[in-house]
């Protein structure tokens, strides 16, 4: 069994995770849908989507403008084509500044490019400062939700973890645990040499990056250490403050139903010489790492309009059962099922797009109405027929043969009907007491291992229709005559 | 422009079906950076009557309340000082045992004359003067930080704090309790108005929107205040009876 199925089964077998996923989706998924339905300005989402797509079409101009404005304030801007380029640059900044400790503000792209191990190999201590991420780091685990990274752990586990790692008395009281982390992390934040963050949205015309947080860890990480390095996916940019205003509100609403997160901080360069705090060096690392390839494909460009709020996780029936770990990626849920294969290889992550249901809920809840189901289907198409552009090989040649045969059968009515009749006879031995087929042999077992299959009906729809229609026609005939 | 940047942006142009080596300049795309005309919004803010401002205060209070912002409306600097003094007296330090307080270098905070009010008590009041090299240590030692944000936003209960000389960002971040003093006329209706005022301040290297105390719900979705930033936010709205300078928000922020 592959990792996806294994992790999914693990998640399904955990009542704790199932309960938290249910609570999460019940509150944030339903909440976001209600928010969109009741929003005064019903055009806002369409407007922001339009501006996101327009900005993608002019991305080179926007990034040049952003870089120009940041540099004008004395900030450094580095364009990193690959993950390795971004890592190398960040390491160089760390070495130049003799950095011993890095504090991180929650950043998905830092996980995407795998910067933590690279820093640690260099002998640098890396501390996650978002409470959920910190817990994950202490546990040596992986995050399982974009905004609630440790949703798969309960307070007892966290209490035990803190007792073990922080040397405190065991408690499962969330406020006490939070205060313990607050004290511990305050020390780290005040003594760190470098702050490492992502970027939620950059604004080209003013030359700022902006970051949202509720805890204040990102403000800390961008205020106290003498060096701030911000990693930014190249698509996370708006042209104007006006666009920023609308986009950031959709982000915080989609993420946690908030009009605004507790903090929205704007940084556009190092702090001035007479400022007692704020970084003396500011580095903005703009990262491609496969995004230009997505941009080049009209079929998938739309996915770069994503603002990473995580709303699609909060409604997806698949994520809602299997949780984040099965996706085995920095990005999970429906957005992960599209963006991970595109960034890291469609064949490598084939299970992700095949695992989603195409129900369309992710499109409905997306603040910028990204058509994820369409792209999931397009990814499956690449797997079914192979694609040179995406370097995919046919995922399952036997499947293709199967469908060729199926096409031959279903387009020949007499053959199809006679095979159906044979099937009806043949299936009798498999039908169990509950009138379901619960086990089949060979390759067919894939259909029945995890569920029961209803047997082929006694009559086909066409047969039923013909019977009914014949009767109705007979009944309707006199009426027709009268009318004439 | 360095080589990296040229290559990187060339890749993007290729992806967009443009010629990779011919740079596209923004002057060729005037619509891209076009912003709506804000004259009307500015006039609306400038022309607000006291009664309308009081309405905005009401909305701010209501929204702030649900975000756990404790609000106090006062009619004079003296009354504001009384609120601050009471908070300093009644609250206990979180990270040490001495009562240090730090405030921004701002006329509305200076007007509180806090240094005069703790003659016989062990309370030390600092101001984050621009010339003071010890501001950061003093901020770390303080359990209360006092700021005077430039703009308040009623709709989202947001305080907009600009980083300027004498007004460092850590004052509203490191102390356990953040007290914000704001004149009634600095409160605007919504983010659209606030962003309009911010346009003129876009050269700043740092600014922050604050909507309530620091919070987290990472452990079993249980809401806890005071994750990293202040665990309490108090807003003192200074509504002086003679509301002269109703356009103060515009002049201050424009």
Specify the CATH number for the domain of residue B164.
3.40.50.10420
* Tokens read off for B46: 């400038």
Looking at residue B252, what is its pLDDT?
44
pLDDT band at A439 (very low <50, low <70, confident <90, very high): confident
CB atoms near residue A44 (< 10 Å): 18
Alpha carbons B78 and B83: distance in angstroms, whole number: 9
Burial of A395 (0-12, 13-18, 19+ CB in 10 A): middle
Q: A with B: how many residue pairs have Cβ under 8 Å apart?
A: 239
List of domains in chain A = 43-289 (3.40.50.10420), 398-479 (no CATH)
In a domain, B20, yes or no: no
Range of B199's domain? 39-253
Q: Please count the structural domains in chain B.
A: 1
Any domain includes B10: no
Chain A interface test: which of B96, B155, B165, B216 (most A C-beta within 10 Å): B216
- In chain A, which residue's Cα lies nearest the Cα of B69? A262
- Render each residue's pLDDT in chain B as its tens digit; 254 residues: 688 999 999 999 999 999 999 999 999 999 999 989 999 999 999 999 999 999 999 999 999 999 999 999 999 999 999 999 999 999 999 999 999 999 999 999 999 999 999 988 899 999 999 989 899 999 999 999 999 999 999 999 999 999 999 999 999 999 999 999 999 999 999 999 999 999 989 889 999 999 999 999 999 889 999 999 999 999 999 998 854 444 444 444 43
d(CA A209, CA A230): 8
Q: Could you give the C-alpha distances from A187 to A50, A192, A223, B101, in angstroms and in order?
A: 44, 9, 14, 20
Is B63 a member of any domain? yes
Q: What is the pLDDT of residues A155-211, one digit of tens each?
A: 999 999 999 999 999 999 999 999 999 999 999 999 999 999 999 999 999 999 999
Return the CA Rg of chain B: 22
- The complex scores an ipTM of 0.94
What is the rounded CA–CA span in Å between residue B6 and residue B12? 10
- What pLDDT score does A477 carry? 56
Whether B15 and A295 have beta carbons less than 8 Å apart is answered as yes
Determine whether the interchain pair A271/B163 forms a contact, defined as Cβ–Cβ distance below 8 Å: yes
Of B135, B158, B202, the CB nearest to A241: B202
pLDDT of residue A214: 97
Residue B248 domain-assigned? Answer: yes
Supply the pLDDT for residue A1. 63
The pair phi, psi for residue B122, each rounded to 5°, is -85, 70
Residues 6 or more apart from B206 whose CB is under 8 A from it? A265, A266, A267, A268, A271, A278, B163, B169
Q: Classify residue B8: in a domain, yes or no.
A: no
DSSP for A357-378 reads ---SHHHHH-TT---HHHHHHH
Band of pLDDT at residue A4, cut at 50, 70 and 90: very high
Reported as a single tens digit per residue, the pLDDT across B135-183 is 999 999 999 999 999 999 999 999 999 999 999 999 999 999 999 999 9
Question: With 60 as the cut, is the pLDDT of residue A480 above it?
Answer: no
Q: Tell me if B220 and A131 make a contact (CB, 8 A cut-off).
A: no
H-helix or E-strand spanning residue A196: strand A194-197
Domain assignment of residue B18, yes or no:
no
Please, is B197 exposed, middle or buried when counting C-beta atoms within 10 Å of its C-beta (0-12, 13-18, 19+)?
buried
Question: How many whole angstroms separate alpha carbon B13 and alpha carbon B15?
Answer: 5
* Phi, psi torsion values for A142, nearest 5 degrees: -120, 145
Q: Does B190 touch chain A (CB under 8 A)?
A: no
**Residue B7 resides in a domain:** no
Please tell me the predicted confidence (pLDDT) of residue A341: 97
Between CA A306 and CA A314 the distance in angstroms is: 15
Residue B32 resides in a domain: no
Q: At what angle do helices A30-38 and A241-256 cross, to 10 degrees?
A: 140
Query: Shortest CA distance to A310 belongs to which of A233, A375, A370?
Result: A370
Residues 6+ apart with CB under 8 A from A438: A430, A432, A448, A452, A453
Tens of pLDDT, residue by residue over A254-268, are: 999 999 999 999 999
Question: Chain A residues with CB inside 8 Å of B131's CB?
Answer: 274
Q: What is the mean pLDDT of chain A?
A: 93
């Amino acid at each position: 069994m592959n990792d996806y199925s294994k992790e999914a089964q693990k998640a399904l077998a955990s009542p704790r995770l199932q309960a938290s996923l249910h609570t999460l989706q019940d509150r944030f998924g339903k909440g976001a849908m209600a928010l969109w339905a009741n929003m005064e300005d019903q055009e806002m989402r369409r407007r922001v989507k339009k501006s996101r797509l327009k900005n993608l079409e002019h991305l080179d101009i926007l990034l040049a403008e952003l870089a120009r404005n940041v540099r004008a304030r004395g900030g450094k801007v580095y364009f990193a084509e690959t993950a390795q380029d971004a890592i190398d640059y960040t390491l160089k900044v760390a070495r130049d500044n003799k950095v011993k400790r890095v504090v991180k503000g929650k950043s998905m792209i830092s996980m995407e490019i795998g910067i933590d191990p690279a820093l640690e190999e260099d002998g640098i201590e890396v501390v996650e400062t978002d409470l959920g991420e910190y817990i994950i780091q202490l546990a040596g685990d992986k995050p399982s939700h974009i905004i609630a990274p440790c949703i798969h752990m309960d307070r007892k586990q966290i209490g035990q973890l803190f007792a073990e790692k922080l040397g405190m008395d065991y408690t499962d009281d969330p406020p006490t645990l939070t205060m313990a982390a607050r004290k511990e992390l305050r020390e780290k934040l005040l003594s760190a040499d470098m702050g490492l963050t992502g970027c939620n949205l950059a604004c080209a015309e003013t030359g700022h990056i902006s970051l949202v947080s509720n805890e204040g860890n990102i403000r800390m990480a961008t205020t106290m250490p003498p060096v701030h390095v911000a990693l930014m996916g190249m698509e996370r940019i708006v042209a104007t403050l006006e666009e920023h205003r609308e986009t950031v509100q959709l982000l915080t609403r989609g993420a946690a139903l908030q009009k605004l997160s507790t903090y929205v901080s704007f940084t556009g360069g190092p702090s001035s010489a007479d400022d007692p705090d704020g970084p003396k060096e500011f580095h903005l690392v703009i990262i491609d790492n496969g995004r230009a390839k997505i941009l080049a494909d009209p079929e998938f460009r739309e996915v770069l309009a994503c603002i990473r709020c995580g709303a699609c996780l909060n409604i997806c029936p698949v994520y809602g059962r299997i949780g984040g770990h099965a996706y085995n990626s920095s990005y999970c849920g429906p957005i992960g099922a599209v963006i991970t294969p595109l960034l890291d290889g469609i064949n490598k992550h084939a299970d992700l797009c095949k695992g989603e249901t195409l129900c369309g809920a992710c499109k409905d809840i997306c603040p910028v109405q990204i058509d994820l189901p369409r792209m999931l289907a397009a990814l499956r198409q690449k797997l079914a027929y192979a694609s040179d552009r995406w370097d995919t090989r046919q995922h399952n040649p036997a499947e293709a043969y199967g469908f060729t045969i199926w096409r031959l059968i279903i387009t020949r009515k007499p053959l199809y009907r006679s095979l159906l009749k044979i099937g009806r006879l043949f299936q009798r031995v498999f039908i169990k007491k509950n009138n379901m087929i619960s086990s089949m042999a060979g390759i067919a077992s894939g259909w029945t291992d995890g569920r029961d299959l209803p047997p082929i009906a006694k009559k086909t729809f066409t047969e039923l229709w013909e019977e009914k229609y014949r009767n109705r026609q007979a009944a309707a005939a006199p009426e027709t005559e009268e009318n004439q | 422009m360095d080589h990296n940047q040229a290559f990187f942006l060339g890749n993007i142009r290729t992806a967009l079906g443009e010629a990779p080596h011919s740079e596209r300049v923004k002057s060729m795309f005037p619509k891209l950076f076009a912003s709506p005309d804000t004259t009307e919004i500015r006039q609306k803010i400038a022309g607000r009557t006291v009664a309308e401002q009081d309405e905005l205060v009401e909305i701010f209070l209501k929204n702030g309340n649900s975000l756990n912002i404790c609000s106090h409306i006062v009619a004079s600097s003296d009354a504001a000082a009384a609120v601050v003094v009471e908070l300093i007296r009644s609250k206990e330090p979180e990270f040490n045992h001495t009562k240090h307080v730090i405030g921004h270098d701002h006329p509305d905070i200076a007007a509180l004359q806090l240094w005069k009010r703790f003659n016989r008590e062990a309370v030390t009041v600092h101001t984050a003067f621009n010339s003071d090299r010890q501001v950061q240590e003093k901020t770390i030692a303080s359990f209360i930080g006092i700021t005077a944000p430039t703009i308040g936003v009623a709709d989202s209960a947001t305080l907009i704090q600009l980083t300027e000389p004498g007004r460092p960002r850590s004052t509203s971040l490191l102390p356990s309790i953040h007290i914000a003093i704001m004149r009634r006329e600095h409160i605007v209706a919504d983010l659209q108005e606030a962003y309009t005022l911010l346009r003129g301040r876009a050269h700043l290297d740092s600014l922050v929107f604050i909507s309530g105390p620091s919070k987290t719900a990472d452990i079993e979705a249980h809401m806890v205040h005071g994750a990293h930033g202040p665990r309490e936010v108090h807003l003192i709205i200074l509504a002086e009876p003679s509301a002269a300078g109703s356009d103060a928000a515009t002049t201050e922020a424009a």
